[in-house]
Amino acid sequence: MRRVLLFAAPFVVAAAPLPAEQWANTQLPDARQEAQAKALMETLRCLVCQGQSIADSDADMAADMRALVRERIARGEAPGQIRAWLVERYGDYVTYDPPFSAVTAPLWLAPVLLLLVGVVVARLTFRRKAR
């Protein structure tokens, strides 16, 4: 009997639901709170998928983050506080609009530089063809 219990224990523990998981794929009962949570989740990047928001991702990490957002919204925290906490915990990469800093400067400046290079190349190409 003891061996059976020892064998079954890991399965029982693994099957026990985590408290936050209830909010991973379940909407909050309050429509206003759910709207706040959804709006915040769409601005946060999935750290596993990297190209999807946590609202759209099927990754376990995204589900955990959705649950965390909904749980904190249900407790009455403001979306700005939750976002700040997630940025503090995971860094600016968790947001789709990182602030301008020395680390994120290439992200903000690369499109402008590429546009300028394209204009210069196009101008030089058209000048040669005109001659």
How far apart CA 23 and CA 26 sit, in angstroms, is: 5
Q: What is the dihedral of CA 104, 107, 109, 111, to 10 degrees?
A: -170
Domain that holds residue 125: 100-131
Cβ neighbors of 95 (< 8 A, separation 6 or more) are 43, 44, 45, 83, 87
- Please indicate, yes or no, whether residues 41 and 104 belong to a single structural domain of this protein: no
Does the pLDDT value for residue 42 go beyond 90?
A: yes
Q: What is the pLDDT of residues 79-119, one digit of tens each?
A: 999 999 999 998 888 888 777 788 778 878 889 999 999 99
Question: What DSSP character marks residue 92?
Answer: G
- Please indicate, yes or no, whether residues 90 and 114 belong to a single structural domain of this protein: no
Cα distance from N-terminal residue to C-terminal residue, the chain: 94
- Please indicate, yes or no, whether residues 120 and 93 belong to a single structural domain of this protein: no
pLDDT given at position 3: 53
How far apart CA 91 and CA 44 sit, in angstroms, is: 11
How far apart CA 76 and CA 30 sit, in angstroms, is: 11
- Please indicate, yes or no, whether residues 23 and 77 belong to a single structural domain of this protein: yes
Tally of domains within the chain: 2
Task: Report the percent of the chain where pLDDT is more than 70.
Answer: 81
Average pLDDT, the chain: 81
CA 42 to mean position of chain CA atoms: 7
Task: Report the percent of the chain where pLDDT is more than 90.
Answer: 38
Q: What is the pLDDT of residues 16-36, one digit of tens each?
A: 444 456 657 778 888 899 999
- Please indicate, yes or no, whether residues 91 and 114 belong to a single structural domain of this protein: no
What pTM, to 2 d.p., does this model score?
A: 0.63
- Please indicate, yes or no, whether residues 39 and 13 belong to a single structural domain of this protein: yes
Q: What is the CATH number of the domain that holds 41?
A: 1.10.8.640
- Residue of higher predicted confidence among 24 and 14: 24
